[in-house]
Chain A
Amino acid sequence: MNKIGGAVAGFFRGIGNFFGEFFAAVAKGDWAVKLSLLVWGAGYAKRRQYVKATIMTALEVGLILFSVCFASQYVPKFGTLGTVQMAQEFNIETMQMEFNDYDHSFLILLFSLFSFVVWAVGLVVWMRNTVACYRLQQAAEAGKHINTFKEDCREYLGDKFHITLLTLPIIGIVIFTVIPILLLIFVAFTNYDQQHMPPSALFTWVGFENFKSLFSSGGMTVTFGYAFVRVLGWTLVWAFFATFTTYFGGILMSLLLNSKKTRAPRLWRTLLVITIAVPQFVSLLLVRNFFSNGGIVNTLCARIGLTGWLRSIGLISTSYIPFLTAPGWAHVMIILINIWIGVPYQMLIATGILMNLPSDQLESARVDGANKFQTFRYITMPYMLQVTAPTLVTDFVKNINNFNVIYLLTDGVYTTTNQLMANSQAKEVDLLVTWLFNLTQNYYNYKMAAVIGIVVFIVCAVFTLVAFNFLIRGDKEGVYQ
């Protein structure tokens, strides 16, 4: 806990320093530093860094142009997300439609958000710029050497190379990760759905309405809360079983293959790895057809009398075994099929780790008279767990969002017989993420999908933080040794 506290304190100290430096620069800076608050290049120009001065001023002009020409069209409408409804009229002269100057809620939301990010970055640059000018002033007053532009450039390839390297990835993360996530969060607070689809219709802010209807039944959608609890429950059950069955399955499989008594281990290993080589969607769709109501497995079971026997003991009421079409059956089948898909991966990982198992410890265990199970329980397993704990956590999170297996095995095959689930467009076998997909893809219910997306994020984040904190706390390192 101290560590987390320290990290939080460090974070705020960092922010404090950042502002402190800026205000110190403004207070103690000479006229050029103060002028650089208005004209970004001023401080550099005074120190004869003309290229830098030009670049910074150009950046400033760019930012102002961006604000005036681009942001000003969208940001003022951010509060309402647009008020002018689209209207059109046909012009027989040109054979074309003529549109009014309508508002596009989604573009307003997206470009406003983009502008906010640009401005936030601009603010930081502006403050850092002032600080940099002040440092130049200090250097000049102390009689130190002032870098020329060439020397600055060389520095970015030498001492400050990390900055050069990280620039592109960070821009990428902001554009492709931060903005979409912020957009998703914003959409959760709007009424963006089928009835409010831009460009033909506008959508607007609704506050916490969507969260209310998710967490309370009797909201806008009658059974949403009912379905949500069940889907979340199955998501967690699935993630637990999918992670641990494949994990232990993989370890056992690799132990089996590593055993000296196993003949032709390479052959078996290759055969298992082939399941990885075949694209998942191909193998999953094939398996889905094998286990369908009229599929090959069902035909086989009917021929050997298994279906009839299951019927006679009352386990099924249909003329086929509903492997993937009845709750319970489908849940178990999905987990079993996932073992088949997932074990080879874990086996490869486990094999690698087992090969690095310190042989002196195994040796001494053998000398001390430990049997095979004891060796596994007290040496192999602790070692495995210590090395693979982080992957175990990420696997769990990955399984919470394991779209492929669930969607490919059940879409178009599984029809729920729970009317209340169906009324919310959910199925017993849905994970949060497949439900979310169905809501956006088939029902255009973007607002609820965004809400579910946020919930999935929170579930994953909380789990990851807690699990990492317990499983791989710093003090655990070295315990094994």
Chain B
Amino acid sequence: MKKLLSLLLAVTMVLSLGVFALADGPIEITVWGAEEDQTYLAERIEAFKAAYPDQEFDITLGVESESTAKDTILTDVEAAADVYAFASDQLPDLVNAGAILDLSTVEAALTALAGKTLDDIKAANVEGAITAATYNDKFYAFPFASDGFFMFYDPDYISAEQAETWEGLLDAAAAAGKKVGMTLASGWYNTAFFNAAGFSTSLNADGTTNMDWNGTSPDGYTGVQVVQAMQAIAGHDAFMAIADGDISNQIAGGDLAAVISGTWDTKLVSDTFGEDYEARALPLLTLGEDQVPTRGTVSFKMIGVNPYATNTGWAVMLAEFLTNEESQVARFEAREIPPTNIAASESEAVQANKGVVGLTEAAAVGVVQSVGGKYWDPTASFGEQIAQGTIGTDEASIQTALDQLVEGVTAPVG
């Protein structure tokens, strides 16, 4: 009877308190990184252990793509990894769900052990990356790679001069019987045309997105003008609207003479277009009388720390270590991913990489996107409507379509 009682008592206690023992000995940290990064990360984790020989570590490395990190983490924040890599557009959702640590709360540990302040880290990386890692004036993550799209083209069919403007590009491709490919059905890509006109989006503290694409931009262009320019491009015989995620397939297909893509396709482009391929910023867009640069989206990959990590301090140390100059150089060597660390990106190897040069050129006019969760489906649909030509070309139809788009994007969250 007594035994039964004590057993019952024990079971209830465990159930009710969820007790876990304090780490007494090795510091346990779990890390999530992209599948392609596993070898590289394993090496850098060993380097981290070597950097702090006095402390015993037990670091577990798991696979989680940067592009889907948020989905997995938000399923159960408390069970997610302590240190994880993610794409910068996920930051608002992670912050809203309380799944990422405000780094200022642990700055003391960083200063004490690594001798760095958050300002040192901000100064060491490109400004855009720091902007992307900041939300509501708080600094949340350590950036380690630039990400974004630019244009690859095949100089066999298109001259450098023709590649300057969309008209020149499309006409040259048409003359060669080739296509120019771009994804329109994604708010990541199609915002480039609106950015060109000076439109922008911003994010409110409650997770809603501000968007005024149905009005007039600060530069004096209207949303209708932008859509007309997009319709002119999408309606061109040489233009191929590529479904989101299908770009690599289409490059390999061999019909393209130019494509809007990113560093992840560099090798494929080199194989298809030949090693003499060129990479540059997106062409100039004609709006009314003017020609303005098409401003692509600049994104970043970064590493964040879970606020529910057991060993928060050491987790932050590891996150910082995996994104410092040395790690970024090593990552570039392993994966040819453009670094955000200013010193690392000045190396000769980085400067000689055509993809990186193309990205840098695009990033120079690019825009760091700031949007909430309600942005994506409406903008994807809008791009698809332009791709399929379902929006009328008269101003009234375009205005209606833009009004509906803005209504969907700016809708309350929930």
Taking Cβ atoms with an 8 Å cutoff, the residues of A that contact B are 54, 58, 61-62, 65-66, 69-70, 73, 86, 88-90, 92, 94-97, 191, 193-195, 197, 199-201, 220-223, 292-294, 317-319, 322, 325-326, 412-413, 415-425, 441-445, 447
Contact = CB atoms under 8 A, between A and B. Distances in A.
A413 B248 CA distance: 15
Contacts of B408: 222-223, 419-420, 422-424
B313 A96 contact: yes
B333 interface: no
Interface string B111-125: 010000000000000
A419 B385 contact: yes
B381 A194 contact: no
Nearest to B400: A419
Nearest to A322: B388
Contacts of B381: 415-419, 421-422
Contact of B15 (A70, A92, A194): A70
Nearest to A88: B307
11 contacts: A58-B1, A69-B12, A88-B105, A97-B312, A195-B414, A200-B98, A294-B249, A322-B388, A417-B388, A422-B381, A424-B408
B173 interface: no
B309 A415 contact: no
Interface in B239-292: 240, 243-246, 249-250, 253
A95 B114 CA distance: 14
B377 A423 contact: yes
Going nearest first, the 10 A-B pairs with the smallest beta carbon separation are A200-B98, A95-B313, A423-B408, A422-B381, A415-B384, A419-B404, A69-B12, A415-B185, A197-B97, A417-B385
Interface in B363-414: 373-374, 377-378, 380-385, 388-390, 401, 404-405, 407-409, 411-414
B414 A445 contact: yes
Interface string B338-367: 000000000000000000000000000000
Given A92-B112, A412-B245, 17 more contacts: A58-B5, A69-B13, A88-B105, A90-B106, A90-B313, A95-B312, A97-B307, A194-B207, A194-B413, A201-B97, A220-B412, A412-B244, A417-B388, A417-B390, A419-B381, A419-B382, A420-B404
A193 B412 CA distance: 12
Interface residues of B, number: 66
Contacts of A319: 240
Nearest to A67: B12
Contacts of A191: 414
A61 B307 contact: no
Given A294-B253, A417-B384, A442-B71, A194 B373 contact: yes
Contact of A195 (B16, B96, B108, B385): B96
A419 B388 contact: no
A425 B373 CA distance: 10
B34 to A, nearest CB: 19
A413 B388 contact: no
Contacts of A412: 243-245
Contacts of A424: 408
Nearest to B402: A419
